[in-house]
Structure 1
Amino acid sequence: MSSTKIFITGATGYIGGSVLSRLLAHPEAKSFEFTALARSAEKAAKLNTVGVKTVLGSYSDLDLLTKSAKEADIVIAVADSDNLPAAEAILKGQKEKFEETGKAPILIHTSGTAIISDDARGQHGDHTIYSDLDSDAIEALPETALHRNVDIATVKADKEGYVTAYLITPGTVFGLAEGPLVDIGVQHKYSIQLPLFIKVSAARKKAGYIGAGKNLWAAASNRDTADLFVLIFNAARKNPSSLGHGRDGFYFVENAEYSGFEVAEETGKVLAELGIAESPEATSNTAEELKQFFGDWWTLLSTNSRAKGDRSRAVGWKPVDGKKEFIQSIRPEVLEVVKSIEK
């Protein structure tokens, strides 16, 4: 029996590493041949120790991406969701694969609910709650929205028939990552979004939020997010008729909703306990602080992004971690971020 060849990007990242760890423990793992894109020889060597082949390079190495995608039956892209040239290079390889075999390869692409974000600037939480079942509303999103350039190209490739694409679309992903890739020191333990706010709060020695901190974001845990990737992976291989794909292939990842103020409030408690902040009280970042700590990104970080993963649940996804777990996850993230700052 021939093996299923899987090419994964972002394998050492927070989400990608957790997805790869799950697949390495998959009941059918012996029939999978994994190849991961690795930026350094050191990371490649560590991945090799757990049975993952590697190609050395980055999302700038377009020919390498095309070649690696062409050689794979399934591509799982969990790296830069906004890098259109890299996405097009992967799709080019998959198109060449299709032209040779007549069978459309699978693409599991990672987008994000920033596609539905607004310009709230932290002042309110009044925003449309988008369902991933509403394909018309998603298709009507502006091309200028974050991630949309890559999403549009991916959906177009699916429509043209040379790839079957599933777009997994998380909100904020929370919780420290665990697993074999963390254990061997190759996977990032935490995400970018929440730790950025924690780092800024630590630097200003007072927990902070943007505007009034009223903006709302969808969230799901790292482990629930990895569960959805594996569910889609399994169904795409075994029962593709059960899954929407392309235009109808967005799968929102959410099981909680939080405000900017709630993150700052919990962060403040921990910073005060650690003696970094004099008081647990959280305050709004000043205009000068926004420019100093966030640059032009502050408007994006203070948006609303309200989503419902109805399609995700309809195909059998059963997330476990909710709002309580989200709030509880902030303390260990603060401790981890402070530890990294002090190194």
Structure 2
Amino acid sequence: MSGKSVFLIGAGFIGREVLDRLLAENYSVTTLVRREAHAAELQQSGAKTVLGTLEEKEIITTQAAAHDIIFHTATADHVPSVEAVIAGIEARAKQGKKTIYIHTSGTSLLGDDSKGEYKSDKIFYDDKPEDIDALPDTAAHREVDLAILRASKRLGTAAKLAIMIPPLIYGFNPKYQRLSIQLPTLTRFALKHKYAGYVGKGAAVWNQIHVYDLARGYMTLLHWLEQTDAQNVLHDPYFFCENGLEFSWGEAVAVIAKELYKARRIESSEPKTIPENLYDDLFGDTTPWVVGSNARCRANRLRALGWKPQEKTLYESLVQDEIPAILKEDVANFHGYAGVAAVVGKSS
């Protein structure tokens, strides 16, 4: 193989942006897609497609074994699909073939139990992997991350396995009409219940990244992996990607409240605490972690590789892009985020 053969799992909000950049750099990309209509769209862009779901381990293993580079941007919490990727990488290793695998986790991994009551002083740095390794096995996304770490130890220098850990992702590409998860869900909740709300006091803090900057971060990471010694990845597989700015959930919800009130879609511009009995209209039992925890991080490693953020800030994007798009939606039947935003252990 040429070394430019890529298997991409999850050509959605993140993955579609990564796909565009891979194709622009003449990588040969095959994507896993569930629907034929989506497959046709991706084929028009220049990608190859294979129909299948995350549950079809044989398809994923076969495709992983056939490609030099693998991206998983579909979800941070699907163990079977990651196990299938690892099986494909191990099959390649037995044939003497090297593989690069970039998996997508998320900073819910770092989330605490603050439930929106306070801002934490704890900051994680990706050039200090020992702090990330010390996180409990029950932390959000950790089950999948640990499976990758165990596989990396088994494979040694036969493969380079890296974990991208983005914070809150925002941004809107009008061409693809896709939105992220957390703040759009809080916006739809506000439209349904006629007020904007947050968990607890809304005091907890996260970092932020525009999806375009994140996609460029993936490419920066890929190019480094292509050139670096595998030992460097074994030492530290973690990469944060944040734009240098933080936000509190209360501040973000205040922006949502102001814009929705201005549009005459809610009854007050003043946000308030969401009662626990309405969490099913957000993220269910994981709501306090997904939109109420502290998760502070610094992307020292990507910056050292020359990556830097270029896009508009979170609040600019909310006002100019995401909220106008959501105002066009019919939220009458909205009942919370339908996917899995985070899997959190019982004792975490």
Are 1:212 and 2:195 an aligned pair? no
Q: Report how far residue 126 of structure 1 moved.
A: 1.7
Q: Is the 8 A contact 1:107 1:165 kept in 2?
A: yes
| Range with bigger deviation, 266-275 or 292-301 | 292-301
Relative to structure 1, the CA distance from residue 114 to residue 247 in structure 2 (aligned partners, 3 Å threshold; closer, same or farther) is: farther
Which residue of structure 2 aligns with residue 24 of structure 1? Answer: 23
Which residue number in structure 1 is paired with residue 13 of structure 2? Answer: 14
Change (3 A) 1:148 1:265: same
Deviations 1:253-299 (A, max 9, x none): 11221001111111011111211112211111123333554421222
Q: CA deviation at 1:336?
A: 1.0
1:306 aligns with 2:305: no
For 2:308 and 2:230, the matched residues in 1 are separated by: 16
8 A Cα contact 1:9 1:78, kept in partner: yes
Q: CA RMSD in A?
A: 1.9
**Is the 1:165–1:249 contact (alpha carbons within 8 Å) kept by the matching residues of 2?**
yes
Show the counterpart of 1:38. Answer: 33
For 1:166, which of 147, 162, 169 is the aligned residue?
Answer: 162
1:215 and 1:259 in contact (8 A); partners too: yes
Q: Are the equivalent residues in 2 in contact too, given 1:127–1:304 (CA < 8 A)?
A: no
Identity within the alignment, %: 33
Alignment correspondent of 1:327: 315
- Asked if 1:315 corresponds to 2:311, the answer is no
TM-score, normalised with respect to structure 1 = 0.90
Q: Return 5+ residue gaps in structure 1 as ranges.
A: none
1:59 is aligned with what amino acid? L
Q: Is the 8 A contact 1:157 1:163 kept in 2?
A: no
Partner of 1:79: 74
The residue that corresponds to 1:60 in the other structure is 55
Whether the 8 Å CA contact 2:7–2:63 is kept in 1: the answer is yes
CA contact (8 A) 2:15 2:73 kept: yes
Tell me whether 1:135 sits opposite 2:124 in the alignment.
no
Q: Distance in 2 between matches of 1:207 and 1:243?
A: 48
Q: Per the alignment, in what secondary structure is the counterpart of residue 64 of structure 2? A: helix
1:342 Cα deviation from its structure 2 partner: 5.9
Asked if structure 1 preserves the Cα contact closer than 8 Å seen for 2:13 and 2:180, the reply is: yes
Normalising by structure 2, what TM-score? 0.89
**Deviations, residues 172-216 of structure 1 (Å, cap 9, x unaligned):** 0111135xxx3xxxx452111111111111111111111100010
The question of 1:144 aligning with 2:138 is answered yes
Counterpart amino acid of 1:304?
N
- Secondary structure class of the residue paired with 1:151: helix
Alpha-carbon contact 2:214-2:241 (below 8 Å) kept: yes
Whether the 8 Å contact between 1:167 and 1:246 is mirrored in structure 2 is no
The letter of the residue matching 2:35 is S
| Amino acid aligned to 2:119 | G
2:241 corresponds to which of 232, 253, 257: 253
**C-alpha distance after superposition, 1:122-179 (max 9, x if no partner):** 000124100011111111111111111111111222222242111111000111135x
Paired residue secondary structure (1:167):
strand
Between the aligned partners of 1:205 and 1:227, the Cα distance in structure 2 is 37
CA distance, structure 2, for counterparts of residue 261 and residue 246 of structure 1: 38
Q: Contact between 1:243 and 1:249, CA under 8 Å: does it hold in 2?
A: no
CA contact (8 A) 2:188 2:331 kept: no
Distance 2:179 2:89 in 1: 31
Match of 1:120 among 114, 118, 139: 114
> Is the partner of 2:14 in helix, strand or coil?
helix
Contact 2:22–2:29 at 8 Å: present in 1 too?
no
Q: Which of 82, 106, 109 is residue 103 of structure 2 equivalent to?
A: 109
Identify unmatched segments of 5+ residues in structure 2: 333-348
Q: Tell me the CA shift for residue 3 of structure 1.
A: 6.3
